[in-house]
């Protein structure tokens, strides 16, 4: 098993003819993901790489193919609309890779998607991968390997680093999920922890957080109260100065809230093994 995506995932790629969309559509197909349709307004009726049908709207794509997942690679100013279009077309799982979506747009998208009963991952996230089954997004497939560890992270390349070190140590993964670094995102740590707890194949979970906000603290409380599986964690940004946004729109320490030490303390108080370095995640998993 795995969470959110597996061998039954049937994927629509929104923005499939764009620079990023086309590149990653090919990568996903190569990995074995069932890419059943693409959407680019005005290119309906054409085929992507001679095989994937392109539609003008998500609604047409969904009706014709029975897709159950959509991934979005459209420019930031169009991303909010793309997320709402997918939700309105009845797609139950929507992954938005696009970086730079205005946060006020997300205040509208979030309740809209909820009302339609869909799950949104992102925006500004690397997507997710269930090794050996399916990948949706941009996580490099070759650094992952199937196994019993679930991973959830707010970061992109830091996730790759940790996954790579786990794979080198022969610790495979059920699913690796990047929830994204924006202040408002569709899926949070607790959503992923809940899914990993319910997934019979996941034996332990790695949680990678960073400075800013209180999601990690809330996740820690959830782990303490609701989780039976062991969790290990890492927090990036111990050296980040307050008041400065560290790349991710969400990675800012404001006032006294959101520091790395505060989050690490919350992890420790919840019985989560805290890695001082990314490599220590592997040691902590071995010791569990």
Residues contributing to the site for other proteins (CB under 8 A): 20, 76-77, 99-104, 106-108, 110-111, 126, 138-140, 143, 153-161, 164, 181, 183-184, 208, 210-211, 213-215, 234, 236-241, 244, 246-251, 255-256, 260, 276-279
Closest to other proteins by CB, 74 or 240: 240
Closest to other proteins by CB, 147 or 156: 156
Query: Cis (ω within 30 of 0) for the bond into 123?
Result: yes
What are the contacts of 55-62 at 24+ separation with CB within 8 A?
57/85, 57/89, 58/12, 58/14, 58/82, 58/85, 58/86, 58/88, 58/89, 58/91, 59/85, 59/88, 59/89, 61/12, 61/37, 61/89, 62/12, 62/37, 62/89, 62/90, 62/91
Q: How far is the CB of 1 from other proteins (least distance, A)?
A: 26
Helix or strand run (H / E) with residue 221: helix 215-226
Indicate if 248 belongs to the active site.
yes
Closest to other proteins by CB, 67 or 178: 178
Q: How far is the CB of 20 from other proteins (least distance, A)?
A: 8
Helix or strand run (H / E) with residue 104: helix 103-115
Closest to other proteins by CB, 100 or 271: 100
Closest to other proteins by CB, 38 or 250: 250
Q: How far is the CB of 143 from other proteins (least distance, A)?
A: 8
Q: How far is the CB of 68 from other proteins (least distance, A)?
A: 25
Reduced to 3 states, what is the DSSP secondary structure of residue 284? helix
Spatial separation of the C-alpha atoms in residues 262 and 255, rounded to whole Å:
12
- The active-site residue, picked from 178, 248, 251, 258, is 248
> In terms of Cα–Cα distance, which of 187, 48, 171, 73 is closest to 119?
187
Q: How far is the CB of 94 from other proteins (least distance, A)?
A: 16
Q: Which DSSP symbol is given to 254?
A: B
Catalytic sites, residue numbers: 248
């Amino acid at each position: 098993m795995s969470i959110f995506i597996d061998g039954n995932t049937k994927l629509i790629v929104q923005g499939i003819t764009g620079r990023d969309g086309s590149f990653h559509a090919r990568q996903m197909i190569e990995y074995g993901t069932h890419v059943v349709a693409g959407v680019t307004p005005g290119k309906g009726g054409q085929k992507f790489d001679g095989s994937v049908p392109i539609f003008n709207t998500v609604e047409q794509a969904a009706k014709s193919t029975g897709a159950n997942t959509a991934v979005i690679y459209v420019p930031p100013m169009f991303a909010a609309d793309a997320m709402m279009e997918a939700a309105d077309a009845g797609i139950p799982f929507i992954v938005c890779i696009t970086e730079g979506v205005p946060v006020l747009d997300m205040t509208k998208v979030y309740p809209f998607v909820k009302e339609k009963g869909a799950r949104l991952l992102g925006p500004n996230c690397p997507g997710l991968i269930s090794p050996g089954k399916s990948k949706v997004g941009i996580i490099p497939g070759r650094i992952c390997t199937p196994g019993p560890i679930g991973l959830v992270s707010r970061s992109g390349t830091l996730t790759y680093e940790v996954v790579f070190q786990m794979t080198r140590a022969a610790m495979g993964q059920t699913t690796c999920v990047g929830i994204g670094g924006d202040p408002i995102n569709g899926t949070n740590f607790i959503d992923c922890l809940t899914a990993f707890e319910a997934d019979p194949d996941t034996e332990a979970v790695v949680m990678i957080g960073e400075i800013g906000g209180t999601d990690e603290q809330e996740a820690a409380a959830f782990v303490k109260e609701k989780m039976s599986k062991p969790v290990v964690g890492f927090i990036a940004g111990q050296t980040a100065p307050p008041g400065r946004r560290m790349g991710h729109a969400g990675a800012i320490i404001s006032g006294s809230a959101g520091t790395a030490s505060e989050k690490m303390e919350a992890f420790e108080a919840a019985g989560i093994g805290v890695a001082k370095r990314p490599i220590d995640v592997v040691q902590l998993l071995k010791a569990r």
